[in-house]
Every structure is written in structure tokens, then in C-alpha cells.
Structure 1
């Protein structure tokens, strides 16, 4: 059975980062949501007798940052499934790559999480959510959050996933990326140089019941601690934030993850669609898409190719 799944972009509505521990890793506290299928890759599994391989297509298939397909997180996820189930998996995985790479939106992690779900369904492995999460955690990065596929608090090293109660509202948004990669390691190094001694504690997410008030609470009390570091490393982040801030109706502007993708929040779909159109007219080579932030559940349902 051929199955395909959307792998939607992960967005950090806020990202608080603590000082590095002895092992060099940073404690994190972040509210994660997901875009809809307009801002997503597609993972497809095609059964067959050949040894399992990965074929990459789509508008970003040729980008150097993607690396060797066989070293991709998609193949790492598939190999983890094989190890944990002791199944002999053959056939072909296909990655249709649309999301910007090294962009702070968890594209590789979303692809890996979708791969776990595709193989679980296509091969009738019947792995539980807990078993899938156990496979996801060693893959690192944002894979556990992307596997959850719903608004979550991402804490610890990013591997501690907690539910959000009450769930954040569905948000009209625009995602913008200039095309300039922003390597995660370099951003964290710059953050360490800039931040010095800094206190860190986990906090509760915004709780206002009205969307407009919720966005105001987010804008006033939360931040992305990596944003300043990314702006110094990649000047396009500054330009992206500035252009988003000039959009009519925008209520909040911030960077996601370690950058360089930024987003703006709006009160209506019409405003977000007009903003994406205006940015695309000003910067034709940029990635600018209107979307909805919230639950990725409808994107995670298998679809026949």
C-alpha cells in the first residue's frame, strides 16, 4: 500500500534558552505549534522488493544543505524502526521537499516524524504512540515534538514533551524565509557569547481566552532568546522581521527556532494572505506563505498517493 503524509513546519511561538550545562547542551522552554499543509513537506512510502532507499524531489531537492539522501533524517528514522521492530523493510521512501532547509522550522525533524507514522501504518506495525515516541527521542532535535503533531511545551533538551492546557488558539500567520541558511550550532555559540550569566526557569504559556488578547500576551511577555544571535550572524533575519512588521494588520512578529525563518500573526486569514502576497511581490525569491498555526492532526492522516 502506497501512503503519503504531510510533514508540516514546526514553529516556536516562543523559545527561552538557559545557559549551557557541563555537557554543552542548553535547557529549553518553548511553545511549539504547527503550520498547515500549505507549509509542509510530503513523505511517501512505496512498497517494493528493492532494498530500502530514499528518493528526494520537489523544489528544494537540489540544495546542498540537504546532504546525501541516505544520511537524511528520513533514513535514520526508517533505520530506527527496523532496529526496534526487527522487521526487514524494503521499498522506497520519497521525500517531496518544499520547506526551507536549516531554517528553524524543524523540516528534517518533521520529515523523520512523518516517516515513523508512514511506516507504522503502511507496514501494519501497530506501534503505540508511546513506542513511536521512544523511537523518536534518540533521533534528537525536534523529532519528538513533530511526532506529537499538536501544540506542546518542548522542554529539557527538546525531548521532554508536555501537553498545553488550555490549547493555544488557532492563529492566522505568515511564514517568511529569505533563503539564507542559519546553522543551529553557530547560533547557539553566538548566543553563549552574547548572553553571559543568565537565569533560566520554565514558565506557563499565554492563557488569555480571546485570540487578540492571547497574541498581546505572547508579544509582551515571551521571546525567542536566539533571535539576537541569529540577527548578528544572518542580517537577512533583521530584514525579514522588519518587512513583516510593516505588514498591515500584523499583531506579533518573531523568529522561529534558531532561524532564519520568521513569522507574523494576524487576526484574519485575509490579512495574512495579503501580507504573504505583498512580501512575495517585494522579494520574489523569498519563501512567504500564509498558513494557520495550531494542530497538525489533519496533516498527519495517511493519504493514498
Structure 2
């Protein structure tokens, strides 16, 4: 048996550059792992892949990304070994936090050990890219630059340690719809990735926070104005910055202290935001 944490992510910057001939969008993102996590428990068993989950509304079959990761790895390694995968979910579903991708990455890493396959990270990363654009980042974690459709990742200087308030409104935002609706001329601002990288190298949390931009807000906020309200509340209550993560709908805010984070979270709860979490940045993923 092997147990791993599957860490959520936030986007410190997200830019959409153009639509590619393959239908995907070319992006440039700075991604950050945070301590909000699922627990993935892998138990070796003969032949079959089985999956169990702790929440309703999440498929526990071959359509689940964690199951698909095990099946893909088994086919690639040409092994007949099986596994029971138990997912204890804490990352909210369809939140823009890469919960499913994090689970898949944990399965790839864990089964590489449990099945004694001895694959290197480059091989695992190629498999991860076949599962989804965020899965390669989730393999590595920390602070990374993601390009291509998100699957090409490179390490950056770590974001200085801070607290992250996450607030998810009671709406569902289809990722494909958001990217399909994106128009570059509607984005009021674009992130300057090079400048943000410089502030990361300086270890300047405030410098990074002031320059966080997500161009997909130009699509999601007009359709779901509660996202803008949550951002405004976070800033009003003391967060040093607030931004939508991924294609939404979750908004995150950064604070330097736990006390500040708890104050912001408490005020948001009083405003009726249904799902609120406090996490920390994670610079190294096991």
C-alpha cells in the first residue's frame, strides 16, 4: 500500500496566445501548488484496476482520470499488475484547481513505485500529457512555467511562502466553453510573464501579487459576476491580491499571515460564499 497527497494548483498568471490548428489554445501560465489536497491510496492487487471515491457526483469507473492514469501506465509498462485506487477528495470538483489532474499525477507517481517500473520523470511526464494539460504540472508541483497547451513545464524560482484563501461560488463553468468564448481584444490586461519571473527570482511576494493576471476572467466574469464580487470582497477584507484560478469559478487571495487569511475567510463566509478553504503554498512535492 502507498498513500500520496495530490495537491491542488492555482494560476498566478494565465495568458492565451492563439488557437492552434489542433483545436487547443497556446497558453503561457505560471502555476503554483498549494496545500489543499486529495489523498490517494494505492493498494496492489492481482490484475484488475478498481477505484473507490468518498463523494457523490464523481465517477468511480474507467472515465475517472485516476483510473485512466493507471490503465495508461499499465499498458505502457506492459505489466499485468493491478491496483485498488482510493480517492479521498477534498479539492472541490470543477473548480479550476486541477483536482482530477492532481489525482492522475499521484497515481502515475505512486504506481511507478508500487509496481517497481523505474520510469524516470520525463517518461511519466509524456504519459501525463496524454491524460490532460495540467497533469504534467501536477507531477512536479512547486512553481512552474507552463506553455504549449499547458503540458510543457519548466521550474521557476519558488513563490515566497504565503497563505491562500480559496472561495468557490455555487456555479459551474465549463472549461471548453470559456476557451471557446475567449477573444484577445476583450482582455483588459495581459500578464507580463517575464516581469513576474523577475519578481519570483527576487523573492518579492508583493511584486508578484501586484502583477497577477488571468485573461480568462474576460470571459467568465461577465457571465458570472459573483466571481468579480468575491475578488472585490477579498481585496476589501485584506488580501494582497485576488484572482480567478484557471477557467474558474474559484477565486483565490494571497495573504502573508494565517491571521489575515482567517479574517478574509470569515468575512467571505458571512457573505454567504458556500465553499471556502485556507491553504499554504507548497514549494516541493514529494
> TM-score with structure 1 length normalisation?
0.85
The aligned runs of 1:1-305 (5 Å cut-off) are: 2-36=1-35, 39-49=36-46, 51-57=48-54, 61-63=55-57, 66-67=58-59, 69-164=61-156, 166-192=157-183, 195=186, 203-208=194-199, 213-219=204-210, 221-247=211-237, 249-283=238-272, 286-297=274-285, 300=286
RMSD in angstroms over aligned alpha carbons? 2.4
SS at match of 1:19: strand
Q: CA deviation at 1:296?
A: 4.4
Q: 1:80 to 1:161 in 2, by over 3 A?
A: same
Do 2:96 and 2:248's aligned partners in 1 also have CA atoms closer than 8 Å?
yes
Q: CA deviation at 1:238?
A: 2.2
Do 2:17 and 2:26's aligned partners in 1 also have CA atoms closer than 8 Å?
yes
Query: 2:33 and 2:170 mapped to 1: Cα distance?
Result: 20
Query: 2:183 and 2:133 mapped to 1: Cα distance?
Result: 19
Q: CA deviation at 1:217?
A: 4.2
Q: 1:199 to 1:9 in 2, by over 3 A?
A: closer
Q: CA deviation at 1:204?
A: 4.8
Do 1:241 and 1:262's aligned partners in 2 also have CA atoms closer than 8 Å?
yes
Q: 1:206 to 1:131 in 2, by over 3 A?
A: closer
Q: How many pairs are equivalent?
A: 284
Q: CA deviation at 1:81?
A: 0.7
> TM-score with structure 2 length normalisation?
0.90
Do 2:196 and 2:208's aligned partners in 1 also have CA atoms closer than 8 Å?
no
Regions of 4+ moved over 4 Å: 198-202
SS at match of 2:102: helix
Higher RCO structure (Cα 8 Å, ≥6 apart):
1
SS at match of 2:86: strand
SS at match of 1:288: strand
Flag structure 2 segments of 5+ consecutive residues without an equivalent: none
Deviations 1:181-217 (A, max 9, x none): 2110111122138649x99996353433676x53234
SS at match of 2:118: coil
Q: 1:13 to 1:200 in 2, by over 3 A?
A: closer
Flag structure 1 segments of 5+ consecutive residues without an equivalent: 301-305
**Which moved further from structure 2: 106-115 or 46-55?**
46-55
Query: 1:24 and 1:87 mapped to 2: Cα distance?
Result: 34
Do 2:53 and 2:60's aligned partners in 1 also have CA atoms closer than 8 Å?
no
Q: CA deviation at 1:292?
A: 1.0
